[in-house]
Amino acid sequence: MRFRLSILVVVAAAISISVATAAPTKGKPPKTGAGCRPNVAVVLKGNVASAYDASAHSFGMNVMHSNRHGRAFKKASQPLSIMTSDATKVVKGGASAQLSDLAVGDKLLVKAKACKAELKNDATPQLLAMRVVARTPKPSTP
Protein backbone atom coordinates (compact mmCIF):
# COMPACT_ATOMS: atom_id res chain seq x y z
CA MET A 1 0.00 0.00 0.00
CA ARG A 2 2.79 2.42 0.86
CA PHE A 3 4.53 1.54 -2.38
CA ARG A 4 1.43 2.47 -4.44
CA LEU A 5 1.01 5.69 -2.49
CA SER A 6 4.65 6.67 -3.05
CA ILE A 7 4.35 5.92 -6.80
CA LEU A 8 1.20 8.06 -6.96
CA VAL A 9 2.97 10.96 -5.19
CA VAL A 10 5.97 10.73 -7.58
CA VAL A 11 3.70 10.71 -10.67
CA ALA A 12 1.68 13.68 -9.36
CA ALA A 13 4.89 15.62 -8.66
CA ALA A 14 6.22 14.88 -12.16
CA ILE A 15 3.01 16.09 -13.78
CA SER A 16 2.94 19.29 -11.72
CA ILE A 17 6.57 20.04 -12.61
CA SER A 18 5.96 19.54 -16.35
CA VAL A 19 2.89 21.80 -16.25
CA ALA A 20 4.79 24.50 -14.33
CA THR A 21 7.72 24.52 -16.77
CA ALA A 22 5.60 24.51 -19.94
CA ALA A 23 6.01 27.58 -22.15
CA PRO A 24 3.60 30.35 -21.22
CA THR A 25 1.08 31.41 -23.84
CA LYS A 26 2.05 34.46 -25.79
CA GLY A 27 -1.32 36.18 -25.76
CA LYS A 28 -2.66 38.66 -28.25
CA PRO A 29 -0.26 40.89 -30.18
CA PRO A 30 -0.42 44.62 -29.42
CA LYS A 31 -2.88 46.65 -31.49
CA THR A 32 -0.39 49.44 -32.27
CA GLY A 33 3.35 49.84 -32.41
CA ALA A 34 6.19 47.51 -33.28
CA GLY A 35 4.53 44.20 -32.42
CA CYS A 36 1.30 45.02 -34.24
CA ARG A 37 0.11 42.51 -36.80
CA PRO A 38 -1.20 44.37 -39.89
CA ASN A 39 -4.76 43.29 -40.54
CA VAL A 40 -6.29 45.75 -43.04
CA ALA A 41 -5.35 46.47 -46.62
CA VAL A 42 -4.73 50.05 -47.66
CA VAL A 43 -5.11 50.60 -51.41
CA LEU A 44 -3.96 53.91 -52.90
CA LYS A 45 -4.29 55.08 -56.51
CA GLY A 46 -2.49 58.06 -57.95
CA ASN A 47 0.72 58.95 -59.74
CA VAL A 48 4.44 59.13 -59.05
CA ALA A 49 5.45 62.53 -57.66
CA SER A 50 9.13 61.81 -57.08
CA ALA A 51 11.34 59.02 -58.35
CA TYR A 52 12.46 56.10 -56.21
CA ASP A 53 15.20 56.99 -53.70
CA ALA A 54 17.32 53.85 -53.12
CA SER A 55 19.04 55.26 -50.03
CA ALA A 56 15.73 55.99 -48.28
CA HIS A 57 13.85 53.01 -49.80
CA SER A 58 10.90 55.23 -50.70
CA PHE A 59 9.19 57.16 -53.48
CA GLY A 60 6.75 60.06 -53.56
CA MET A 61 3.14 59.60 -54.59
CA ASN A 62 0.18 61.90 -55.15
CA VAL A 63 -2.93 60.04 -53.95
CA MET A 64 -6.11 60.64 -55.95
CA HIS A 65 -8.25 57.65 -54.91
CA SER A 66 -8.23 55.14 -52.05
CA ASN A 67 -10.25 52.46 -50.33
CA ARG A 68 -11.97 53.26 -47.04
CA HIS A 69 -8.87 52.48 -44.98
CA GLY A 70 -6.82 54.93 -47.05
CA ARG A 71 -9.13 57.95 -46.82
CA ALA A 72 -6.82 59.78 -44.44
CA PHE A 73 -3.92 59.39 -46.88
CA LYS A 74 -6.01 60.99 -49.64
CA LYS A 75 -6.74 63.98 -47.38
CA ALA A 76 -3.12 64.32 -46.18
CA SER A 77 -0.68 66.82 -47.67
CA GLN A 78 0.70 65.57 -50.97
CA PRO A 79 3.04 64.01 -52.05
CA LEU A 80 3.15 61.10 -49.63
CA SER A 81 6.34 59.18 -48.97
CA ILE A 82 5.73 55.45 -49.50
CA MET A 83 8.30 53.10 -47.95
CA THR A 84 9.45 49.95 -49.76
CA SER A 85 11.48 46.86 -48.95
CA ASP A 86 13.21 44.10 -50.85
CA ALA A 87 9.98 42.10 -50.64
CA THR A 88 7.95 44.79 -52.44
CA LYS A 89 6.68 43.42 -55.75
CA VAL A 90 6.63 45.83 -58.68
CA VAL A 91 4.74 45.38 -61.94
CA LYS A 92 4.91 47.90 -64.78
CA GLY A 93 3.10 47.45 -68.05
CA GLY A 94 2.09 43.88 -67.16
CA ALA A 95 5.67 42.70 -66.59
CA SER A 96 7.84 42.42 -63.50
CA ALA A 97 9.91 45.57 -62.95
CA GLN A 98 12.23 47.33 -60.48
CA LEU A 99 11.38 50.32 -58.32
CA SER A 100 14.00 52.29 -60.23
CA ASP A 101 11.83 51.84 -63.36
CA LEU A 102 9.15 54.15 -61.92
CA ALA A 103 9.10 57.52 -63.66
CA VAL A 104 7.48 60.75 -62.54
CA GLY A 105 3.91 60.84 -63.88
CA ASP A 106 3.39 57.07 -64.02
CA LYS A 107 -0.02 55.97 -62.76
CA LEU A 108 0.18 53.84 -59.64
CA LEU A 109 -1.80 51.38 -57.60
CA VAL A 110 -0.12 50.75 -54.25
CA LYS A 111 -1.21 47.97 -51.90
CA ALA A 112 -0.03 48.06 -48.29
CA LYS A 113 -1.12 46.64 -44.95
CA ALA A 114 -1.61 48.51 -41.70
CA CYS A 115 -2.93 47.94 -38.21
CA LYS A 116 -6.55 48.98 -37.98
CA ALA A 117 -6.03 50.70 -34.63
CA GLU A 118 -3.28 52.91 -36.11
CA LEU A 119 -5.69 54.26 -38.77
CA LYS A 120 -8.22 55.64 -36.25
CA ASN A 121 -8.94 59.37 -36.09
CA ASP A 122 -7.58 59.97 -39.63
CA ALA A 123 -4.04 59.04 -38.60
CA THR A 124 -1.55 58.40 -41.40
CA PRO A 125 1.09 55.92 -40.20
CA GLN A 126 4.09 55.22 -42.42
CA LEU A 127 3.07 52.65 -45.05
CA LEU A 128 5.26 49.83 -46.31
CA ALA A 129 4.19 48.91 -49.84
CA MET A 130 3.68 45.21 -50.48
CA ARG A 131 2.82 45.59 -54.16
CA VAL A 132 3.14 48.43 -56.66
CA VAL A 133 1.41 48.28 -60.03
CA ALA A 134 2.46 51.02 -62.46
CA ARG A 135 1.60 51.99 -65.99
CA THR A 136 2.82 54.73 -68.24
CA PRO A 137 0.13 57.34 -68.91
CA LYS A 138 -1.26 57.61 -72.40
CA PRO A 139 0.25 60.46 -74.40
CA SER A 140 -2.06 63.42 -74.72
CA THR A 141 -3.44 64.05 -78.17
CA PRO A 142 -3.49 67.60 -79.54
Q: pTM of the predicted model, to two decimals?
A: 0.74
Please give the mean pLDDT across all residues of the chain: 85
Share of the chain above pLDDT 70, in %: 89
Q: Where are the domains of the chain?
A: 40-135
What is residue 66's predicted lDDT score, i.e. its pLDDT? 95
Rounded Cα distance between 116 and 32, Å, is 8
Share of the chain above pLDDT 90, in %: 50
What pLDDT, in 10s, does the model give residues 54-79?
A: 889 999 999 999 999 999 999 999 99
Question: Is the per-residue pLDDT at 83 higher than 90?
Answer: yes
What is residue 25's predicted lDDT score, i.e. its pLDDT? 56
Q: Which CATH number fits domain 40-135: 3.40.50.450, 2.40.30.10, 2.40.50.320, 3.20.20.70?
A: 2.40.50.320
Question: Is the per-residue pLDDT at 23 higher than 60?
Answer: no
What is residue 19's predicted lDDT score, i.e. its pLDDT? 55
10-14, 87-91, 103-107, 135-139: range with lowest mean pLDDT = 10-14
Q: What is the mean pLDDT of residues 11-20?
A: 66
Bridge partners (DSSP) listed for residue 107: 47, 135
- The backbone torsions φ and ψ at residue 74, rounded to the nearest 5 degrees and listed phi first, read -70, -35
Rounded Cα distance between 138 and 142, Å, is 12
Query: Which of residues 19 and 96 earns the better pLDDT score?
Result: 96
Determine if residue 121 is left, alpha or beta; phi over 0 gives left, psi from -120 to 50 gives alpha, anything else beta.
Answer: left
Rounded Cα distance between 73 and 66, Å, is 8
What is residue 68's predicted lDDT score, i.e. its pLDDT? 93
